[in-house]
Every structure is written in structure tokens, then in C-alpha cells.
Structure 1
């Protein structure tokens, strides 16, 4: 018997439950929806990005075109960063779905990476952020990648240099919430552990990281995914 696909109403109920569970008192009320967007897109339901957007703009704090444009910059930047961990198609589909419900006066035409360039400054910025997340653990990764230098280059120049070290729109905690959500939704043990640890290292408490993981798991269940391989924050706490 075929399983019914979740509806927009189901998605709105999910988003409200994640918003209620998320540790907004300590992390801020402007972060839960970044986790929700990254997880729902990574989980194979990028179409519900439009429902998340409509839910958000129904709130009083987003009742002006200026506020909605600022919100869209944050949502779009989350999806740009998500490309670095899940690829282009799912984040791109989420953008298309949001664009279908945007009002003309709410559209934001800014271009965050218009002046980006590769090179030493980009590599250095990427390496500085990478070092905050990985610290001494990166040496082991470098040893492994010494025979796979394309991936070391990709990590420093592109993943971190182009995407993750740019904090002009989303700060470090915002960025790690997006990355952790995208990676965990893929049920990746090693990389999830790295970013549970990284989220702790940039100042998010162990209690809050556990709740963040519960939020991601709630969305995974909605998407029909079983996160059977991922560690919990208590499992990596000794590495922090």
C-alpha cells in the first residue's frame, strides 16, 4: 500500500513543533528556521521551503517588505551554504519553490558573492574558520588527504573559503546549524561527529546541541529517514 505524501499542513505542524523545541532562549529566535530549512531540503522535501517561508512571513516581525527581504537574505544564504554539503539540486529546488510564493515587493536582488575571488585571502579565511571547527583534529584529516589533494584544496578553497567562512549574512552558529543539519540528514557517522564537536567548539552548550539534534531528528522522521548511524553529542564530548 502506497504511503501518503506529507501535506503542507503537515509541514506547518512540523515547523511549529521544531520552533517550540528549539533552544531559542539561549541561541536566539532567528536560528530555528535555518535548521528547519536545511533539514527539510536535505531530507528530500525542498518544496516545503515555500511553506516555511509563508509561515515565517505571517509573523509580526516580518510584516514589512524590508523585513521580508532581510529574512530572504538569511534563507538564501543558508541554502547557498547547504550546497557545500548536499550539492546543488535540493537547495536550488527550495529557492524555486520560495520564489513561486514571493511577492514582488518582497524580493531581494542583492548578490552576496558578487566580489568573491579565489586566491590566498580566500584560502586563509577558509582555513581560519576550518581551524575553529577542527582545531588539532585537522592534522589527521590532512594526512589522509595527502594522497587526495583535490579534496584538501576543495575543503579549504571552496567548502570553507567560498561557502562556510563567509559570515556577512549568517554568523558562525547559524553556519554550523546549517552544516550539521545537512550532514546529519544524510546519516553520516563520521562527519556528523565532526560537526557536533564543531558546534560545541564555537560555544553552543552540550544541552543545546542535544536539543538541536532532536530537532533535526524530528524533521528526519517527517521525511521518512532513519538516522541510525549518527552519534550523539555526549559521544563526542570528550573530544571538545
Structure 2
């Protein structure tokens, strides 16, 4: 017998559990919902992005239009970055679902990549962030991709150059939360290991990364997914 579809009440309970378990004391109170948004979208339930948004704006600190516009910029940027991990359809559906519950006065019409261009400066910026995440490990990836240069170009110019090295709205930890959550929800062993290692390399403690992984697993269970292939942060700690 198929599992019943999760309800809005189930989703809200799961969001509250994530907020309680996430290491906000160390990382800040504005990061748990990035993980929740990305994981629920990657897990095949982007419709609950609207419920997460409504849950967040019910709080006193997000009562003003200015605060809500700041929030939507962060949520939107997380979904833009998620495109580089899961493709367009799921993040786009999450955007549409949030838009359905936004009030007109709360909408933010800014365009973060209006002045973006490809080229050397973009590649350098992308490579600098890529090097922080991968360090010497990237040499092995380059050797593999020497026979698949389209993917090397895609990584430096687009994945990192266009998406992940832009920290004007989301900082480096936010960005790795997006990438780690999106990849882990796909039950990918190799790439999850890379980004467990990557988030450690930019300064998040082993204990906090373990708690982050447990939060992602809460969303996976909500979505009916089993993350059977992914390592734990302790498994990759010797590589950090």
C-alpha cells in the first residue's frame, strides 16, 4: 500500500523539527530555512515551499515589507543556486508556489544577475570558490574530465562561475547548505562526500555538519526517501 501524501500539518511539524535541531546557535538563525527549502524542493515536494514561506512571515521579525523582501531574496537565491544541482523544474515550481501566497506589497523586483557576463573574470571567481571547496582534490577531477571537457567548462563557467561563487545574497555557508542538501537528497555517494568535506573546509564543525545531515534526513523521511548510499561526515573527516 502506497504511503499517504504528506499534509501541510506534517510539513509544518517537520519544519519546526528542523529549526529545533539545526545548529543555529553556531551558524545563525537565518540558515535552517535554506536547508528546509532546498531539501523539500529537491525531495519532490516543492509545493511546500509556499507553506515554509507563510510559516516564516508569520513571525514578528518578518512583519514588515522590507524584512519580507529580504527574506524572499534569500529564498529565491537558494532556489537559483539549486538549479545547478537538480535542474530547473523543481526550483521553478517552488518559486511559482511561493508567488501564489506572496502579497503584492511584499514582492521584490530586484534581479541579482542582471549584470552577469561570461568570460575570464567569471571563470576566475568560479575557480576561486571551487578551490576553497575542493583544494588539491580537484586535480583528480580535472584528470577525469580531460576527456570530457564540456563538463569541466560547465563546472568552472556555469556551476561555480554563474551560480555558486556569487555570495552577494547568500554567503559561503548558505551556498554549501544549498549544494549539500540538494545533492544528499538525491542519495549520491561520491558528490555528497565531496560537499560534506567542502562544508567542513569552509569552517563548519564536524558536530554541526552531523546535525545538518540529520536535518536533511528528516526531510528525506518526510518525502519517503531512503538515503542509503551517502557517507556521514565522520567517514570523510580524514580528508578535510
So what's the TM-score if we normalise by structure 2?
A: 0.99
Structure 2 counterpart of 1:25: 25
Q: Which residue of 2 aligns with 1:55?
A: 55
Across the aligned residues of Structure 1 and Structure 2, the Cα RMSD in angstroms comes to: 0.4
Give the whole-Å Cα distance in 1 for the aligned partners of 2:150 and 2:199. 26
In structure 1, the gaps of 5 or more residues are none
Distance, in Å, in 2 between the alignment partners of 1:162 and 1:2 is 40
- After TM superposition, give the deviation of residue 102 of structure 1 in Å: 0.2
Partner of 2:127: 127
1:67 shift after superposition: 0.1
- 1:4, CA displacement in angstroms? 1.4
Query: What CA distance in whole angstroms lies between the structure 1 residues aligned with 2:143 and 2:3?
Result: 46
Matching residue of 1:179: 179
Equivalent residue number for residue 45 of structure 2: 45
Runs of 4+ with >4 A deviation: none
Q: 1:109-128, aligned counterparts within 5 Å?
A: 109-128=109-128
Number of the residue aligned with 1:86: 86
2:205 is equivalent to residue 202 of structure 1: no
Distance in 1 between the 2:87 and 2:198 partners?
Answer: 21
1: distance between equivalents of 2:21 and 2:48? 19
How far apart in 2 are the matches of 1:7 and 1:118?
43
Match of 1:69 in 2: 69
Paired residue secondary structure (1:150): helix
Distance 1:40 1:140 in 2: 32
CA distance in 2, matches of 1:79, 1:9: 23
Partner residue, 2:105: 105
TM-score (norm 1): 0.99
Cα deviation code 1:28-71 (max 9, x no counterpart): 00000000000000000000000000000001110000000000
Which residue does the alignment assign to 1:239?
239
Unpaired stretches in structure 2, ≥5 consecutive residues: none
Instruction: Please state whether the residue corresponding to 1:75 is helix, strand or coil.
Output: helix
Alpha-carbon distance in structure 2 between the residues aligned to 1:138 and 1:230:
20
Q: How many residues align?
A: 240
How far apart, in 2, do the equivalents of 1:27 and 1:49 lie?
22
CA distance in 2 between counterparts of 1:135 and 1:112 reads 28
Indicate the residue corresponding to 1:138 in structure 2: 138
